[in-house]
Amino acid sequence: MPHDPLDIAEAWTGEGRSVALATVIETWGSAPRPVGSHLVIDADGNFEGSVSGGCVEGAVISEAQDVIASGEAKLLEFGVADETAWRVGLSCGGRIAVYVERIA
């Protein structure tokens, strides 16, 4: 089984799954994953890869479900200045921007 999220996304789409891809597009300060990190999510909530960790990924997976359903991409931002960032666990002092798009 492939371990690269992009390879997994290709395999899942080949199986006919509805798939979203989340990509870290920008970081500021301390961030758990670098720009270019990927998380692939299917319509059933299965996922592979990583864009942050902990509850941030939970929030990204939840938003990805909406992206799969609507087909509309979303730009998500998490950071300590944002009250929701504390709720989802990005308290490391950094901020991240994650682009989530449906790819199949």
**Model's pTM, two decimal places?**
0.86
Distance set, CA 34 to CA 18, 43, 55, 72 (Å): 26, 25, 17, 24
Rounded to whole angstroms, the Cα distance separating 59 from 23 reads 14
Q: What is the pLDDT of residues 11-28, one digit of tens each?
A: 999 999 999 999 999 998
Q: Which domain holds residue 93?
A: 5-102
Rounded to whole angstroms, the Cα distance separating 34 from 51 reads 8
Low-confidence residues in the chain, pLDDT < 70: 1-2, 80-93
Classified as helix, coil or strand, 104 is: coil
What's the pLDDT at 87?
A: 54
Q: Which two tokens stand for residue 48?
A: 């592979």
Tell me how many domains the chain contains: 1
